């Protein structure tokens, strides 16, 4: 069975600083990996996904993530955050139709 662990429940950071949101997963088979963002009272928006190929994945809004198979990690990074990046971020893993989500990391960007 797959599982997803987001190591930080909250990450405060100053505007224009870099940020990394950590995600580790466990699975006995190859899986697909995703990061979603959820703004207050809204649905989930896909930021990026890893299906195969290059381990560095670029997404929307300047985010990127690196798939590390040996460490079973898929950390999300952005070199310089904006106030508008304040939101909840979810890491997810899927095999076939079933998608398992982490508990989420709340990113607070401070001026």
Site residues for other proteins per CB under 8 A:
34, 36, 41-46, 49, 90, 94, 96-104
* Residue of 100, 57, 54, 104 lying closest to 77 (CA atoms): 57
* Residue of 93, 101, 110 lying closest to 19 (CA atoms): 110
In angstroms, what is the minimal distance from the CB of 35 to other proteins? 12
- Residue among 17 and 60 whose Cβ is closer to other proteins: 60
In three-state secondary structure terms, 84 is helix
- Residue among 7 and 44 whose Cβ is closer to other proteins: 44
- Residue among 5 and 72 whose Cβ is closer to other proteins: 5
In angstroms, what is the minimal distance from the CB of 78 to other proteins? 21
In three-state secondary structure terms, 22 is coil
Beta carbons of 104 and 89 less than 8 angstroms apart: yes
In angstroms, what is the minimal distance from the CB of 84 to other proteins? 18
- Residue among 8 and 15 whose Cβ is closer to other proteins: 8
In angstroms, what is the minimal distance from the CB of 36 to other proteins? 7
Beta carbons of 101 and 90 less than 8 angstroms apart: yes
* Residue of 29, 28, 11 lying closest to 20 (CA atoms): 11
């Amino acid at each position: 069975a797959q599982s997803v662990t987001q190591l930080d429940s909250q990450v405060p950071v100053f505007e224009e600083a870099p940020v990394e949101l950590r995600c580790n997963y466990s699975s006995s088979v190859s899986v697909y990996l995703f990061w979603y963002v959820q703004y207050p009272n809204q649905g989930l928006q896909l930021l990026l996904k890893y299906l195969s190929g290059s381990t560095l994945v670029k997404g929307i809004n300047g985010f990127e993530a690196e798939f590390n198979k040996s460490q079973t990690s898929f950390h999300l990074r952005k070199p310089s955050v904006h106030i508008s990046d304040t939101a909840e971020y979810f890491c997810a893993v899927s095999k076939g139709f079933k998608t398992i989500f982490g508990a989420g990391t709340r990113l607070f960007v401070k001026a």
